[in-house]
Amino acid sequence: MYICTTQKNRQIITVLNATKNTISLKSIFLDFKEITKAGLAISVLFSSIAGYLLGVNSDNPFQWSVLAVLMVGGYCMIGASNAFNQVIEKEIDSLMDRTKNRPVPSGRMSPKTALLVASLLTITGIVLLYTINAKSAMFAAISIFLYTSIYTPLKTVTSLSVFVGAFPGAIPFMLGWVAATGEFGIEAGTLFLIQFFWQFPHFWAIGWFLYEDYEKAGIFMLPTGKKDKGTALQVILYTVWLIIASLLPMLGYTGQLFLTPIAAILVFLLGLWMLFYAVRLYQSRTAKSARTLMLVSVSYISLLQIVYIADKFLR
């Protein structure tokens, strides 16, 4: 009887320990996803993959190994930036509804642990990208530095932080080309320019519909500091600049990056689609129209990159 009871107790303890370990591993995994902003990182990583596919050619053939390293290294780069950001902004994040449950402000992860994760991701990402070529590693390091050391501190100081943040935000698209070719030229510069101008309507739309939440933490992303016609007008203007930049490859002055007339028409129509919702924001100036513009902008940049890729391989 005693032996049976003891065995049962041991079995129960074993089950409880296994359950505890499972919960711990699951929570660690979920916290890692959240501190690196996995959803955002994967979305941004798509730009790097698109840039890589646009860069491959007969002199620089497609290689699965390079693409795999670019994906892992790129995720580390983006994840490191996001992790550093959450360490720096732990006090700010605790004030906002959308961020207060993140691992660091909620207390699930200590700042020291988060800093260690960010540091390891930085080292891993730069080393992996260096195995592709030195320029890829250099641009990754520049991206992390700009995002964490300049953009993040400026968010509570000036709305010009969006301009600064647009630089690291535009690097992934360009990074793919550099990884494929080992060169930074007019082609990579054009890809950078497209994603650079895209940042403004995208993040101003976010800043608009989350204005009250950002206000709690003293962050003002909108160019005029208010949800007014001035901000809405700048959203329209930067969307126009985005459309112009996206059509530059059609002119034949961007080296090996070229768009056929049919692809250019599709890119132009995508631009008009986004411009339509930018104008809608100007007309209504509501949080709903800003959220819609944000969602459209996410779809726009992905569809544009797909058109660029399809045009290259189907022409």
Percent of the chain with pLDDT over 90: 72
Could you say which of 184, 208, 243 is where a domain stops? Answer: 184
Same domain, 191 and 313: yes
Mean pLDDT on 92-114:
88
Mean pLDDT on 115-144:
96
The domain tally of the chain equals 2
Could you say which of 131, 158, 184 is where a domain stops? Answer: 184
> Tokens 């940042």 belong to which residue?
199
Residue 15 within any structural domain of the chain: no
Same domain, 204 and 179: no
pLDDT of residue 10: 52
Same domain, 135 and 232: no
Same domain, 201 and 180: no
Residue 12 within any structural domain of the chain: no
Domain residues for 235?
185-315
What pTM value is reported for the model? 0.88
User: In the chain, which residue ranges form alpha helices assigned H by DSSP?
Assistant: 2-35, 38-55, 64-88, 90-93, 111-132, 134-145, 152-154, 161-181, 186-209, 211-216, 229-247, 261-284, 287-314
Same domain, 213 and 297: yes
- The pLDDT confidence band at residue 16, using thresholds 50, 70 and 90, is very low
Residue 9 within any structural domain of the chain: no
Integer Cα distance of 76 and 82 in angstroms: 10
Same domain, 217 and 90: no
Q: Please, are residues 302 and 206 in contact by the beta-carbon 8 Å criterion?
A: no
Same domain, 161 and 53: yes
pLDDT of residue 7: 56
pLDDT of residue 19: 43
Same domain, 92 and 69: yes
Mean pLDDT on 168-182:
95
- The pLDDT confidence band at residue 50, using thresholds 50, 70 and 90, is very high
DSSP secondary structure letter of residue 256: T
Integer Cα distance of 226 and 204 in angstroms: 11
Residue 212 within any structural domain of the chain: yes
Same domain, 155 and 190: no
Same domain, 144 and 226: no
Residue 148 within any structural domain of the chain: yes
The backbone torsions φ and ψ at residue 293, rounded to the nearest 5 degrees and listed phi first, read: -60, -40
Q: Which of 15-24, 184-193, 264-273, 291-300 has the lowest mean pLDDT?
A: 15-24
